[in-house]
């Protein structure tokens, strides 16, 4: 169990580096919708709410297969910024409005999804 924890810490640290592969490889496309978009069939999806500094549901895991479409919908009661580490995807989170970020899971690993201003971990994206 100790080794698994160490490995997870290394993967997370690598995903948070200053420049991931997406900075070096063009075509890092993603879509941001400023309304609660419905997930497409077969898409890995989660809905997350941030209210009074608390994440609901509590931070957990979103699993996706490499190459699968992923969508993450977040609603926050305060303005913030959504960030998917490793993929270097960002979206503004206006207060009280749902934002969905949709992308293809092209990188394998574990990637933290967080808010920048409030520094809350929303979920961990595990792509295999």
pLDDT per residue of the chain (128 residues) written in tens, 0 to 9: 443 433 334 433 444 333 333 333 433 455 555 555 566 778 999 999 999 999 999 989 999 999 999 999 999 999 999 999 999 999 999 999 999 999 999 999 999 999 999 999 999 999 99
pLDDT reported for residue 8: 39
Contact criterion met (CB below 8 Å) for 23 and 47: no
- 63 — alpha (psi -120 to 50), left (phi > 0) or beta? beta
In a domain, residue 23? The reply is: no
For residue 86, what are the domain limits?
2-18+30-127
pLDDT reported for residue 25: 40
In a domain, residue 42? The reply is: yes
pLDDT reported for residue 24: 35
In a domain, residue 108? The reply is: yes
- 109 — alpha (psi -120 to 50), left (phi > 0) or beta? left
- 53 — alpha (psi -120 to 50), left (phi > 0) or beta? left
In a domain, residue 63? The reply is: yes
In a domain, residue 24? The reply is: no
DSSP-derived pairing of the beta strands 80-84 and 69-76: unpaired
Contact criterion met (CB below 8 Å) for 102 and 42: no
Burial 49-64 (b: 16+ CB within 10 A, else e): ebeeeebeeeeeebeb
pLDDT reported for residue 82: 95
pLDDT reported for residue 26: 35
Q: How many domains does the chain have?
A: 1
């Amino acid at each position: 169990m100790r080794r698994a924890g160490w490995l997870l810490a290394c993967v997370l640290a690598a995903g948070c580096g200053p420049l991931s592969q997406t900075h070096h490889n063009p075509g890092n496309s993603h879509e941001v919708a400023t309304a609660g978009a419905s997930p497409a069939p077969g898409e890995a999806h989660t809905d997350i709410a941030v209210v009074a500094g608390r994440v609901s549901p509590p931070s957990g895991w979103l699993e996706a297969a490499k190459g699968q479409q992923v969508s993450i919908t977040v609603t926050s009661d305060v303005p913030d910024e959504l960030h998917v580490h490793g993929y270097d995807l960002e979206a503004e989170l206006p207060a009280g409005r749902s934002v969905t970020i949709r992308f293809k899971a092209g990188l394998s690993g574990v990637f933290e999804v967080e808010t920048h201003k409030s520094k809350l971990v929303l979920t961990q994206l595990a792509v295999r």
